[in-house]
Structure 1
């Protein structure tokens, strides 16, 4: 993949899997708010309202051209925070996550969805969906090579669009780490010892998209109340022969 295809020196660890596998609680909250908290947006400095979250999801749905009646599949779906507003939109839903506890919650909140426990690298590509995406997932992959393999499988599973949402921007890595150190209630280096975040350059996705026959459209993160938004972006991939026009449901005011 040209000059942006390389091996990383980041440590490979199962600690992220252990952390996400232990996520629980928030039983007293309504479904969407509970899913938002369980899916990792309960950090110190995050103040994301349900309304802001729903607006954010529908904005990304517009960018991916997701319409009512479409089939959508989320890689790393967690407890279903991103899927609940799409279910309300009237889509057919599938998803995977490597945390059995989060999948269990997701199934209880989205009983009609097809949610399974699986790693992103093992994504089944036999059954296609219209739109395949992940949200706030790529930073937990071990290397750029693993990210490329996951992205390849996502493009093979999708008929219409692929979304890689809430990506840590490599050009803003120093600022991101500094902000996280400043906002944490505990010592950053102690809390994240042995853990790693994968930061990805936008040009990496441009090259990857071309390799898979897609074009890439980038969006700065606009999730209100998310402390990491200034250092994140999203990328939507569509087959090179198609354009990124917004769907009819949004233009007519639905949602």
Structure 2
């Protein structure tokens, strides 16, 4: 990852008082309506996170995604255990001191993917999410290692969101040149959709890809979400039919 430029940009955003919402301090500065952000998060998660789950975010920023996710849980069972890692030290300091719940603050630390995930135990988080990070990973081999680590530490799902589609690479990079906070950030990386299936849709895991349906998310045609179901169950249809027959 382009550590110095990216970390500095996000640390600067975390200190900006002009932004009203956490997601704006996470880089989504053009999205001024929190309801749209919440709809985006809900759409992205797509029912994969359950009440009481342990959810880890690689590239957690100022917890904009995780806190919105927490708010989508039913009131009677809203509590999630949250954790994450981010490459911007001042951002993580803000998370630990002010933004994370007291019982979660020790679950957040500074580091860059993929190396920062190596110390996380296997199968220790129900769902691992990574939102709008992969455009900053400057090498496809590092990206592959990052996904492998995420799969290792997840119990059920890995959700990698806001991935830049390779066919929109030039359009997207032309746009960021005109944004103030991205002027020092290197060119965004993009990914062909087939890259995910070629590398991770094997063995017991299952890859699926979709675009969010939140119509007010302006980048939804250019970006997509990758879902990796770990140890995806496959039920024998004949066994199901047999049980159904016995019940009649």
TM-score scaled by length of structure 2: 0.78
Partner of 1:3: none
1:27–1:34 CA contact under 8 A, matched in 2? no
Alpha-carbon RMSD across the aligned residues, in angstroms, is 2.6
Of residues 48, 51, 58 in structure 1, which corresponds to 2:35?
A: 51
- How far, CA to CA, are the matches of 2:218 and 2:202 in structure 1? 33
> 1:218 aligned to 203, 206, 209, which one?
209
Distance change (3 Å), C-alpha of 1:49 and 1:219: same
Map of 1:94 onto structure 2 = 83
Matched with 1:177 is 173
Task: Give unpaired runs (5+ residues) of structure 2.
Answer: 74-78, 235-248
Q: Return closer, same or farther for 1:230/1:179 CA change in 2, 3 Å cut-off.
A: farther
Aligned residues of 1:23 and 1:38 also touching (Cα < 8 A): yes
Distance (whole Å) between structure 1 residues aligned to residue 111 and residue 43 of structure 2: 27
Cα pair distance change 1:84/1:236, threshold 3 Å: same
| Partner Cα distance (1:13, 1:68) in 2 | 34
| 1:75–1:97 contact (8 Å) kept in structure 2 | yes
Could you tell me which residue of structure 2 aligns to residue 199 of structure 1? 190
* Alpha-carbon distance between aligned partners in 1 of 2:31 and 2:159, rounded to the nearest angstrom: 24
Looking at structure 1, the residues matched to 18 and 6 of structure 2 have their Cα atoms a distance apart, in angstroms, of 26
Listed as ranges, the matches of 1:1-255 within 5 Å are 14-27=4-17, 33-42=20-29, 46-63=30-47, 65-88=48-71, 89=73, 90-107=79-96, 108-111=98-101, 112-113=103-104, 114-121=107-114, 122-123=116-117, 124-126=119-121, 128-180=124-176, 184=178, 191=183, 195-211=186-202, 213-222=204-213, 225-242=216-233
Higher-Rg structure is: 2
For 1:195 and 1:57, the matched residues in 2 are separated by 26
TM-score by length of 1: 0.76
Q: Which has the higher contact order (CA 8 A, sep 6+)?
A: 1
SS state at 1:41 partner: coil
1:209 CA displacement? 1.8
Q: 1:225 to 1:100 in 2, by over 3 A?
A: farther
- Report how many residues are paired: 220
**Structure 1 unaligned spans of 5+:** 1-10, 244-255
Q: Is the 2:156–2:230 contact (alpha carbons within 8 Å) kept by the matching residues of 1?
A: yes
